[in-house]
Structure 1
Amino acid sequence: MSLDTDLNTDLKADPDTGARRPDESLEALMPVATTAQTRRAAMALLRPHRGLVALAAALLTAATLTGLATPMLLGHLVDVVIEGEDVTRLITLTGVALAGVAALSAVLNAVSHYYVIRAGEQAAAGLREEVMEHALNLPLAQVERAGRGDLVSRVTSDVRVVTSATSEVLPKFVSALLTVGLTIVGLGVLDWRFAVAALLAVPIQARALVWYLRRSKPIYAAERAAEGQMAGRVLDSVGAADTVTALRLGPAHLRAAEDKSNAVVSLSLRTVVLITRFYGRLNLAELVGLSAVLVAGFFLVSDKSVTVGAATAAALFFHRLFSPIGQLLGLFDDLQEAGAGLARLVGVTLVERRPEPADPPAPRDASVAADGLVFGYRDGRDVLSGVSLAIEPGERVAVVGTTGAGKSSLVRVLAGVHEPRHGSVLLGGVPRAELGMYGTSRAIAMVTQEVHVFAGTVADDLRLAAGPDAGDGELLAALEAVGARSWVEALPDGLRTRVGEGAWSLTATQAQQLALARLMLVPAQIVVLDEATAEAGSSGALALEASAEAVMRGRTAIVVAHRLQQAARADRVIVMSEGRIVEQGTHDDLAVGTGVYARLWAAWSDTRPAQAPTDQRGSAISGGNVK
């Protein structure tokens, strides 16, 4: 398999087995900025801190000039010794001067590096904030098409690489660049022929650098993309662990993750080979340059154009260039990686976002209407085909159907996660496009089976929905409504207990109840539960059913029914098949006869326990599942 093919490998569902298999496409990934776009973004980030940048540059220049005094002092000492003068006192003074130069250079370097790092960190902070602001406001459909792994890798590993470059690589690079430039000037001050001799190494170094950059840039860009794909594959597999296990797809997912990891490792090894060959070329340049300076010094001293001390200083000057030149050219390796990461981060900010209306209209009520919805995840295959429906304010509607019928796609289009290719959606009589993203989120809210516990305290998690000024009483009331108050208060610090990754671990039922409590706190009068109680059938089934009832009470509710007793409690049942509504009506009307729902109900009834507990409406609250 070629490198490009290996990098562009993704997984898609096999139509026969349901397993995920390779797909040669990266078109879903978010864009990557061009070199020009990345450069403009970097300049824009540094512009607010140009004062700091100027101060840091001045200090770095002073530190470099101070360091150049060392070869000059040693060269002068050589001349004095050759002339046969009493050098005891001079050596003492030279030692004191060298110590002073070293101390002053160290102080100036430390202060200048502080300001370089400060300017870089502030610019990086601005970049992180801008990228996060864009990431949080990206169209959800764009995020889903690209895959969470791609976005997560950008706002984590790419941000880390860029931040490391601004705090560590950039100061070293600027310092090395100044050292090289001013040292060449110093050689010219001694004698212009020393500078010319030293510059003989430049063509070799330049050719080595061009050779390296031409080969390393695409590899680094491919490596960052491959890491994004690897993260996406791992996240998808972990997020769907139950399904993967149930369908015995573990080996296929492991092979897919292994393929992604191997692609990253292969690219990393290629960079190591490139770096080794690159440094070999740099060593050759150092040999040529130093030889040229020594030969020039021999002839210049022979015809008395310069003193032995000046020739010594010139050799020391050039020898002093070994480290900064190697560091300067070697740092291109880190800058290449940081540049690739920065291009991916800037790419996030380039994703077009639909402009928010300045003064969106308010929905008249909590109704939902859709007309002629056509939607597909990929061109050429529609998941929804001409779906129309009307839901009255306060009505509870259950959407049922077999796997692949289009249930989740329908509610996601209604909630604004996806945009239909044709058709329209009205919330409260207002076209969803006129409401904008924020207006839509205030009108309709959704909870799915895949919930997230945000890192922080329980109170912080809930205030993401309630607002930063929400009091503990309001949060406890929401927890009480969904039946979660007792276990939250039993946590070590109650509402102040830290949860999420690396903190207190919540059970799947508790995490779902926390998500439903967040839904209680949002003002939306239309709620969508997309298999949000799929934990049912476990020990948390009854708790989640009660939690969902509390969330839906007094609101318009659309429920993708994981279990048919949820449909039995709804005011209306919508049955979907192959992206169309094939039946709708009350449970009692649809459960008789030979229709699709009747067959589903009969199959479910056969799996229901003989003495299943019932709710106040007489519907069983445990039993089989309909996927």
Structure 2
Amino acid sequence: MSALLPTAAPRQTWRAVWDLVRARPRLAVVAGLTLVLGTGVGLLAAPLLGLVVDAVIAADPGALTWPVVALGAVALVSGVATAVSGAKVARLGESVLADLRERFLGAALDLPLARVEAAGAGDLTARASRDVGVVADAVRTALPTLARSAVTIVLSLVGMAVLDWRFLIAGVLAAPVQLHTVRWYARNARKVYAEQRIAVGAQQQQLLESVEGARTVRAFGLRDKHTDLVAERSTTAVDLAVRGVYLLTRFYSRLNLAEFIGLTAVLVTGFFLVDAGEVTVGAATAAALYFHGIFNPINAVLGLADDLQLAAASLSRLVGLLLEPSERAEPRPHPGADLKLAGVHFGYDGTPVLRGVDLEVLAGERVALVGANGAGKTTLARLVAGVAEPDEGSITLGGVPVRPGCPVHLVSQEVHVFAGSVAEDLRLARAGATDDELRAALRAVGALDWVQALPDGLATRVGDGGHPLTAAEGQHLALARLVLADPPVVILDEATADAGSAGARVLERAADAALAGRTALVVAHRLTQAAAADRVVVLADGRVAEAGPHADLLAAGGDYARLWAAWSAPR
């Protein structure tokens, strides 16, 4: 299994949450005060209704006036305070959530690429999507309900004690069963849900590894092994989900027992106190209303234990990433753009993919990598880009080891179009670029005409929920970002592979323009890219089989010549 990213301990998690809330003291205080005010005023309805009951029993219509008027005032004040508190609590929760997201994103972007590769993108993706979503749902639904319910329970118990302390004793008889239920559930569920989150992350990672490495998996006959791994991790995730459902079923059955005990105790206590003349029927009614009023909040709080366990497990995974050491590195100057690989070995799951690769790309030279599927082309490109580190050997740029911060730009066939305007998408490469500079970059790669033809030009929203772009148009934007970033070294990993024949030719011309004057290593999907390169390197069985200019390799009649003949043969 991959070395998954860390999960924070409970103390570390709640310290992080407290720091986020403490950063907004005024908002937190206002939210708390309005919440207590709205709930407290609303609870005055129970004793007022008790007075109404006593007035009716005494057949005194005049005694009904002020309790009824007071009930109207209670409803008005409680409604306004509840609305204000709801808005403040929501604002506090959303601001804390936004801050957490920003910190998580910053931590994710600062992770060393080798660490991401070791942990697997699946674990990081699960945290960024599933775990963030679970915490967001809890902040928007569970936490406001929890806050209102907790205040209601505390103030209702105080009200019962004011009416008669024996009502409070009767009501809290349900507490031991409820507390035991919560402790039992928390003790068992936290572990199950934490394990489930880890299992889901491992499952997602295995699926990503198998899909992304499909060519390598097929080439090395690893299909059955990867299928078994996916099945094993899926079974683990399902088993843990079933255990969670079983725990939840037992949890609610125990809560029902606690409800029966508490309600029976309050009703019996009220009967004896009224019979003894120690309280009025109205007071007993108010006590029953108070207990009935906390009936749903208690169940809500205890019922939320499931959501809160899920949220706590997800929150621990988000905070865990914040604790991971980052590798924020500023780009370091390199004395030249000569790229050199010496004795590079690398493998997946113990299966060697690259075996002692030696390669030198001179500054300003364009080298094409070609070879059959599974030869190691993409793996080599990822190593040069610093996404992973070689098991053995070295990769240097201008004599300096390739590390995060080195001026190497990778463009693969899996290009993401970010949600936002075209201009915002392009400015990811250069934040301060003017509109004229954006247009110049688009013009350089031949994309300006179709961008200007979009509904709002550079301001057109693209990506998720925006104007749809074709695969070729997405690659056009990626190449324009490359021009804006202006790195000295570029790795193109089959960047035109997803376009059709016509689109591929357009993108090849765009890539030629973007690579002008740069040191480039091109994983060639189409051999026309190899023919246009200064030099061609043929990989076979993880080794450099041939290297030289296109014409020389054709004349040599070796592996490259056979690949060229097969590719250029009439179809």
TM tier, shorter chain?
0.7 to 0.9
Secondary structure, aligned partner of 1:375: strand
* Distance in 2 (alpha carbons) for counterparts of 1:492 and 1:53: 44
Tell whether the 8 Å contact from 1:449 to 1:530 is kept in structure 2 after alignment: yes
1:461-482 deviation per Cα after TM superposition (whole angstroms, max 9, x unaligned): 22222x2332333222222222
Cα distance change of structure 1 residues 501 and 189 upon mapping to structure 2, 3 Å threshold: closer
Instruction: Give unmatched runs, 5+ long, in structure 2.
Output: none
User: Which one of the candidate residues 297, 308, 316 is aligned to 1:335?
Assistant: 308
The more displaced of 259-268 and 189-198 is: 259-268
Q: SS in structure 2 opposite 1:447?
A: strand
Question: What are the residue-to-residue correspondences of 1:123-272 with 2, within 5 Å?
Answer: 123-225=96-198, 228=201, 271=244
Residue pair 2:215, 2:374 contacting (<8 A) in 1 also? no
Flag the structure with more relative contact order, 1 or 2, with Cα contacts below 8 A and sequence separation at least 6: 2
- Residue number among 425, 440, 445 corresponding to 1:461 in the alignment: 425
Residue of structure 2 in register with 1:3 after alignment:
none
Find the aligned partners of 1:487 and 1:241 in 2 and give their Cα distance.
Answer: 34
State the AA in 2 paired with 1:426: T
Q: 1:362 matched to which residue of 2?
A: 333
Are the equivalent residues in 2 in contact too, given 1:564–1:601 (CA < 8 A)? no
Q: Which residue of 2 aligns with 1:352?
A: 325
1:74 is aligned, of 5, 25, 49, to 49
Q: CA deviation at 1:108?
A: 1.9
Give 2:256's match in structure 1, choosing from 274, 283, 291: 283
Alpha carbons 1:361, 1:430 under 8 Å: kept: no
Pairwise CA distance, 1:48: 0.4
Indicate which of 25, 34, 38 corresponds to 1:50.
Answer: 25
Check if 1:393 corresponds to 2:363: yes
Q: Deviations over 1:470-528 (max 9, x none)?
A: 23332222222222233333333333333223333322222222222221221211111
1:383 aligns with 2:353: yes
TM-aligned CA deviation for residue 76 of structure 1: 3.9
Q: Distance in 1 between matches of 2:457 and 2:275?
A: 86
Give the corresponding residue for 1:17. Answer: none
Q: 1:237 to 1:381 in 2, by over 3 A?
A: closer
Q: 2:271 maps to which residue?
A: 298
Query: Is residue 53–residue 119 contact of structure 1 (8 Å, CA) maintained in 2?
Result: yes
Are 1:448 and 2:448 matched, yes or no?
no
2:398 aligns with 428
Partner residue in 1 for 2:9: 34
Query: Residues of 2 paired with 1:452 and 1:548: CA distance?
Result: 17
Shift of 1:376: 3.4
Change (3 A) 1:483 1:55: closer
Per-residue deviation, 1:30: 3.2
* Distance in 1 between residues matched to 2:542 and 2:115, nearest whole Å: 22
Query: 2: CA distance between counterparts of 1:68 and 1:535?
Result: 64
Give, in whole Å, the separation in 1 of the partners of 2:343 and 2:42: 75
Once the two structures are TM-superposed, the CA of residue 122 in structure 1 deviates from its matched residue by 0.8
* Cα distance in 2, alignment partners of residues 31 and 444 from structure 1: 29
Which letter maps to 2:445?
A: V
Q: How high is the sequence identity, in percent, across the aligned residues?
A: 50
> Structure 1 residue 215: deviation in Å?
4.0
**Cα offset, 1:318, TM superposition:** 1.7
Change (3 A) 1:338 1:99: same
* Cα deviation digits, residues 351-377 of structure 1 (max 9, x gap): 3322536xx641222221233434334
Q: 1:492 to 1:177 in 2, by over 3 A?
A: closer
Q: Deviations over 1:68-116 (max 9, x none)?
A: 322222334445555x4x6211112111112212222222222222221
Which of 498, 506, 513 lines up with 2:476 in the alignment? 513
C-alpha RMSD of the superposition: 3.6
Distance in 2 (alpha carbons) for counterparts of 1:424 and 1:242 = 25
Residue 417 of structure 1 corresponds to which residue in structure 2?
387
Q: CA 1:64 to 1:490, structure 2 compared with 1: closer, same or farther past 3 Å? A: closer
Match of 2:511 in 1: 548
> 1:252: Cα distance to partner?
12
Which residue of structure 2 lines up, in the alignment, with residue 371 of structure 1? 342
Runs (5+) with no aligned partner, structure 1: 1-24, 611-622
Q: Compare 498-507 and 225-234 and name the one that shifted more.
A: 225-234
Cα 1:580–1:602 change in 2 (3 A) is: closer
**2:9–2:316 Cα contact (<8 Å) kept:** yes
Alignment TM-score, normalising by the size of structure 2: 0.88
- Residue 453 of structure 1 and its aligned partner are, at CA, apart by 1.9
Give, in whole Å, the separation in 2 of the partners of 1:161 and 1:126: 16
3-state SS, counterpart of residue 409 of structure 1: helix
Corresponding residue number in structure 2 for 1:14:
none
Deviations 1:104-160 (A, max 9, x none): 222222222222111111100101111112223333344445444443342233323
- One-letter amino acid matched to 1:72: P
Q: TM-score, normalised by structure 1?
A: 0.81
Aligned partner letter, 1:604: W
Aligned pair count? 570
Separation (CA, whole Å) in 1 of partners of 2:525 and 2:251:
59
CA gap of 1:497–1:64, structure 2 versus 1, over 3 A, is closer
Give distance in 2, aligned partners of 1:185 and 1:496: 58
